[in-house]
Chain A
């Protein structure tokens, strides 16, 4: 497995720390793992920590947009934190930041 995800839930916030390369090989399984937690726990805030993601393509962007739709449909919020410059470039290029705000760190999300 090229990608790893650690999950941490604090009250109604689910933090997903992803590491590795976000392409079509891993998006299906990652989607299932995230959605399973979104469905079974009462979560209204999803934080995707991409600090350790070294590559993302449009399959990875699709994963993020899909979670945005799912969380928004439940009146929840979603944030991306810690994207490296090369990953951030692709996020900005796709315009995903207009839907999912980007933050430097998990602390920055909390303090906002």
Chain B
């Protein structure tokens, strides 16, 4: 699918940057014909994925790097890729189970939010190399809606 517009962010794995990342992606997504509620959901999933990279991927080491690429595709869907070069995930199926967390003080709901609020979620991860989460959210284009 061709990309109509994209933004690429690269930032330090600092907690301060979680709100920066979700605000940026939310602002970018507002170019699409979507509701405020859609934007809130998009901000939530970005917050979850970036927090995961910092907490789990990098074990809160602030000197690492996180990349986020957000694109509007030709069919007006929004694609978000969040990538870290951290610890990686041994067992992706287990990690995605609702309420599973490797940290007993956490809720284990991050992947559940991502899966529920987005239309597609793909996780690619290699232990010791890092994790890449791809999220896709479809928005019916205005033309389609007019026809319906």
Contact = CB atoms under 8 A, between A and B. Distances in A.
Interface size class of A (residues with CB under 8 A): 10 to 19
Instruction: Report whether over half of chain B's contact residues are helix, strand or loop; otherwise say mixed.
Output: helix
Contact of B113 (A24, A58, A65, A86): A58
Interface size class of B (residues with CB under 8 A): 20 to 34
B116 A57 contact: no
A59 B52 CA distance: 10
B44 A65 contact: no
A62 B116 CA distance: 19
B43 A25 contact: no
A36 interface: no
Contacts of B107: 58, 61-62, 65, 94
A95 B13 CA distance: 30
Contacts of A75: none
B105 A62 contact: yes
Interface centre among A23, A58, A62 (most CB of B within 10 A): A58
4 smallest beta-carbon distances between A and B, as pairs: A25-B15, A57-B47, A58-B109, A58-B107
